[in-house]
Every structure is written in structure tokens, then in C-alpha cells.
Amino acid sequence: MTTDVNILIRGQSNALLFVANGGARDLEKQLEASLPGVNVNLIQHYGDKNSTIYSGTAFLKWDTDGQQQGLLNYVKAEPADIKNNPTVTLWMHNEYDGNTGGVTTANWVSEVKTDAALVRSALGQDASTTPYVFTYVPYAYAQGNSPANIQAGMRQLSADASFNASFDSTAMSGLRMDGDGYAHSSHMGQQDAMLVADRLADSMKGIVSDLAKGSGSTPTPTPPGPTPPKPAPDNGIVKTIGTGADGLVLKISQDAWKGSAQYTISVDGKQIGGTQTASASHAAGQDDVITVRGDWAPGAHKVTVNFLNDAWGGTAATDRNLHVDGITYNGTALAKGTADLLKKGPVDFAFTDGAATPAPSPGPGAGTAVVKTIGAGADSLVLKISQDAWQGNAQYSLFIDGKQVGGTLTAGALHGSGNEDKITIKGDWSAGDHKLTVRFLNDAAGPSGDRNLYVEDASFNDATLGKHHSTFKINSPDDFRFTKTADGLGATFSGTMGKDVFAVQHGDGDMVIANFTAGTDKLRFEGFDEAKMHMIAASEGGVSGTLVIFDATAENVFLPHVTNLTAADTLFV
């Protein structure tokens, strides 16, 4: 006889990616394979107003923003034979709440209890047949103590037998979080999703088995120390040592030669765990992820990594070394958390428990436009930036072809004020396509305001980029493409590798549009008479192309290297 058990998946963007990347389906298959006679039904949906997953939202606002009602509508619409099954709620959302300052454990717990009562009522069940499994997404951005307070809430509810929950704190530890195309971004990738499925299949097996047997018993409260997770495939070791509510996460790699590097980890002079053996290759850009658990008192502390077995064969290729590639404490990166251990011995790293989050370096007063030049060279990228300031100015970082330039920048000009920051990035870029990435770092919102960032305009060597503006409502990156032409011909607009529409308005005067792709891009003429347009082959600055001419006007458009422009490439409005 087959017994059905539901898994209700709820959360934000990483819950969506867990489903979309196949993790949820793999979890279902693994549980069914390990529990013969049990049929697992996934309850999950996203993309509609009635869903279980809402990307880009904060749980603490679900009750006021409509997502909670949408979740209840979706659950209530399930067939009776599904709602009658015991149901595990797999909780995969903390991102936006952790990125909101001032979240307290009491507030979070209260909201979860209220929400759970509504969901259980929609299912027509009570706590005994509807356990919760909490996970914690390693979101790249956080505000003060909010992440720690949310995790404390997960532990508090897991210790409350009447609520019936458990906290799998290791299900998402040590993930690559490379779903945005780079490591340690805001989103999990496919490999992360499958790894999370493996871990959850282990931790949820007993819960699902008990429900299938009809025991209706509550799980054992979550112990202080997490169960060590499975290693991340092809990316080094993922391991937890020690127990406690606080967590140091060390990223370790090695140069292996005649054996792997070995080391110990101590906090305040007390060794935690035994002798550790490195696995990840420093040259390959990999890392072991070692989580050190403890309950450290407020104040200053010291974590020590002691390299035990240095070896040297006379060349760079015959050298055993250890590398500390980064350390975080309770989700916050240590200011000095890297070291290359090229010889045997200890290295100390300072961290502080319970200290207030340090304020960012003073920035411009809100409303004061910033004019700043970064770097040196003959080429110029110019950005015009503004912000909605709320409880502090917007901060952001810039990357050219993936390499950061200029450190953390702080916006000054207010959006809509008529002022803009002017950020000029100088360089000597090679001919060809390049990418500018703008990454918003410190989104914040509350009942009285919202902090946002705006790219108002972007140009390269005085040519406006095909995509030249963007609005950042949440912490996220956005890319702007630019191309340096080998001929060096000055341009008014510069196209991207995608589909571009160039608006040419009556009164703009002569224009040069670089990187126009006939058959893909469009010229949008505003205020011109199509009957008076004609095209000829022409040359400017020694570069051949097509010249679009309007009789009886002094306004022409030159398209370098374009020889096959047709009427289909133009629009008239």
C-alpha cells in the first residue's frame, strides 16, 4: 500500500531556483527511493499571484503585500486528497528579511507562528501532521544582526515541541552561490540545488518516514551542533567542526606536493576539531569550506590557522603551501581574513562577537552630487548616477570585464532632483567587446522609505551605450556592454551585442552610430519624413559605411562598416 506525504516548498528566489534547477524533483526521487511504499507529492508554484514561492519579496511583508493570501489561495485550491496528506513545509526563505535592518527574533517568530496557523488551517490539519523544516540561504547581503536573529528564531521554534519544526542549518552551508554567473552571488546554481537536495534527503528521511507511518510525532528538537554536510562535488571539502550558535566559515585551499597540506584551527588558543587535511586546489580557484561552531562571548577573539607540514622541493611546482582565502563570522567577512601560509607555523585572524555593525565610511550628504574619476588611460566610461536615499546613501561597486575598479562607491545626487553623480572610469581597453557591471550593495526599505540606485546614463568615449540606464530596487548586478572599435572613429551612440533601437530625433544634428547590426538593430526616426530619406555609400575618417541623408535638413546618420541597410532596419514615428 502506498502512503502519500506532501512537501510544501515556500520561499523566495532561491526556492524558485531549487525547483527550477531540478533540486526539488531530485529530493522527491531520493526520498521515494529510500522509503519504499512512500509517494512524495511536491506542492510548489511560482510566477502567479497565487503561488508558494515569490521571488524578490520579504516574508515579514507577506501579510501586507499579498503574498500570504496568495499562498493560502494556492493551498486551499489543492484537491482534497492532497490536502488530507501529512505535509512537511520546507522553509527556504530568509534573503530579504536578512537584508532588512532591525529584524528581531521575537518579531520573526511571531510572524512565522501566525503564518503557520493559517497554512495548517488551509490544509485542515494541526501541527502534529504538518512539521516544518527550516533552512537558511547564504544570501550575499545582510543588515546588522538580522540574519543571526532569524537563525535564532529557527532554533527557538525547533526547540518548541508544540510548533513541530527542525532546523537543518547545514543544508545550504558552503554553497557556491554562482547562479548569477559568479561565485558568492545572491543565487544558487544547478550544482548547489542538487547538493541541497542530497543533504535534505538525508535530514528529512526520518521526518517523512514518521509521517508515512502515521505516528504524528514531533521531531527531536534541533541540537546545538549541526550534522556535517556532504562534500561539495569537485569543489573541495565542506565540513563543520565544533558546536554552538556562532559560526566562523573559513575558505581553505592548498598547493599540494607529495601529499596534502595539513593544519589545525584554534579559537582563543583552544583547538577545535583534530588535524585538518586540505583538498581544494588553490591554482584551480577552488576552496574547502570549513565551518567552526561555538558560543563565543561578546568582545574580541582570535582564530588561528596553524600550517603543520610545509614541504619544498626547490621549485614553484614542488612546493606544498596552505592558503586562507577568506573568513566570515556570523555572515560578516573579516576585514583581514586572507593569508598565504608558505611555511610551517600559525597565523592569527581577529574577529569580534556582539559588536555593532561598523558604519560605512562617511559619504557625501544626500543630495550632494559626486564627481569622481577612477583609473587612468585614454578611454573613458562615464556613468551618471542618482539614488533614493533612506537611512543612508546607496552604495555600489563597478566591474570592468569582471574585475572590480574603484572600491565601494557611495551615491550622492537624489533621483528626480535634476542633479546626477558623474563617475568617469579611465582605461586603455583593447579593441572589441567589453562589459561594465554595476552592483547595488545596500538596499533597504521600511514603512517610511526605500533606498534605491539609478544609472541615469552610460557612455563610452562620448558615445551613449545602446543600453544606458537601469533601476536597482534590490541588491543585484546589471551589465552594460560597450565596444571599442579598432578604427577609433568617434561615435554618438554605440551598439551592444544584443538587439538595439537607436532613437534619432529631429534636431539632433549629425550622428555616428557604431556597432550597428543590420537585420538586428533598428533606427527609430522621430519627426522625420520617410519620403525625404535616402541612403548612400560613404566614408568618414577613412572608414567606409552607409550615410542616411534627409533632404533639406542638416541632419545625417553615418553607420560605420554597414553596407546592407534596408528599409526594414528603420522605423518612422
Q: Residue for cell digits 503557520?
A: 116
So what's the pLDDT on residue 346? 94
Residue at grid coordinates 518579531: 107
Q: What is the pLDDT of residue 486?
A: 58
Distance, CA of 309 to CA of 408 (rounded, Å): 38
Whether the Cβ atoms of residue 409 and residue 453 lie closer than 8 Å to each other: no
| Cα 130 to Cα 163: distance, rounded to the nearest angstrom | 9
Rounded to whole angstroms, the Cα distance separating 87 from 52 reads 14
What is the pLDDT at residue 232?
37
The yes-or-no verdict on residue 222 having pLDDT over 80 is no
**pLDDT at residue 27 is higher than 90:** yes
Residue for cell digits 552630487?
A: 369
Closest CA to 494 of 483, 503, 486, 504: 483
Q: Catalogue the E-assigned strands of 461-500.
A: 463-465, 470-472, 477-484, 493-494
Q: Does domain 371-484 have CATH number 2.60.40?
A: yes
Task: Indicate the DSSP class of residue 92.
Answer: E
CATH number belonging to domain 3-213? 3.40.50.1110
**Which helix H or strand E contains 464, and what residues bound it?**
strand 463-465
Q: Is 263 helix (H, G, I), strand (E, B) or coil?
A: strand
Task: Indicate if the pLDDT at residue 512 is higher than 90.
Answer: no
Per-residue pLDDT at 453: 92
The amino acid at residue 310 is: D
**Backbone phi and psi for residue 234, each to the nearest 5 degrees, phi listed first:** 60, 20
Looking at residue 4, its pLDDT comes to 92
Collect all residues with Cβ–Cβ distance below 8 Å to 315 and sequence separation of at least 6. none
Beta bridge partners of 38: 3
* CA 54 to each of CA 18, 123, 449: distance values in angstroms, whole numbers, following the listed order: 13, 20, 22
Nearest to 82 by CA among 119, 44, 41, 128: 41
pLDDT confidence of residue 328: 87
pLDDT in tens, 372-428: 999 888 888 999 999 999 888 999 999 998 888 888 899 999 998 888 999 999 988
Average pLDDT, the chain: 84
How far is 454 from 135, CA to CA, in rounded Å?
Answer: 33
- Res 523: pLDDT: 86
pLDDT in tens, 152-193: 999 999 999 999 999 998 888 888 888 877 777 788 888 889
**In terms of pLDDT, which residue wins out, 494 or 501?**
501
Give me the torsion for CA of 60, 66, 70, 71, rounded to 10°: 10
Query: Architecture of domain 238-353 in CATH?
Result: Sandwich (2.60)
pLDDT (average), residues 529-542: 80
- Measured from the Cβ of residue 283, the count of other Cβ atoms closer than 10 Å reads 9
Instruction: Say whether 114 sits in a helix, a strand or coil.
Output: helix
Please give the C-alpha separations between residue 17 and each of 8, 10, 116, 171, 550, in angstroms, as whole numbers. Answer: 15, 12, 23, 15, 51
Residue 562 in this model has a pLDDT that exceeds 50? yes
Question: Band of the pLDDT at 342, cuts 50, 70, 90?
Answer: very high
User: CA nearest 350: which of 371, 369, 323, 332?
Assistant: 332
CA distance 227 to 239: 9
Q: Which amino acid, residue 67? A: Q
pLDDT confidence band for 455 (50 / 70 / 90): very high
Task: Write phi, then psi, for 296 (nearest 5 degrees).
Answer: -95, 140
Classify residue 21 as left (phi > 0), alpha (psi -120 to 50) or beta: alpha
**What's the CA gap between 340 and 175, in Å, rounded?**
23
User: d(Cα 117, Cα 130) in Å, to the nearest integer?
Assistant: 10
Which grid cell sits at 540?
568618414
Distances (CA, A) of 495 to 459, 465, 486: 11, 6, 15
pLDDT digits (tens, 9 = 90+) for 246-259: 889 899 999 999 98
Q: Dihedral of CA 262/268/269/273: which sign?
A: negative
Predicted confidence at residue 125, as pLDDT, reads 94
pLDDT, average across residues 531-550: 82
Domain boundaries, the chain: 3-213, 238-353, 371-484, 496-572
Residue 10 backbone phi and psi in degrees, to 5: -135, 150
Residue 30 is predicted with a pLDDT of 92
Beta bridge partners of 329: 248, 332
Q: What is the pLDDT of residue 220?
A: 45
Q: What is the pLDDT of residue 85?
A: 93
What is residue 113's DSSP assignment? H
Residue 230 has pLDDT above 50, yes or no: no
CB 371, CB 383: distance < 8 Å: no
How far is Cα 148 from Cα 355, in angstroms, rounded to an integer? 13
**To the nearest whole percent, how much of the chain has pLDDT over 70?**
88
**pLDDT, tens digit, 9 for 90 and up, residues 84-97:** 999 999 999 888 88
**Is 344 or 558 the better-scoring residue by pLDDT?**
344
Q: How far apart are CA 123 and CA 304, in angstroms?
A: 51
What pLDDT, on the 0 to 100 scale, is given for residue 492?
62
Q: Is the pTM of this model over 0.75?
A: no
Using 50, 70 and 90 to split pLDDT, how confident is the model at 358?
Answer: very low
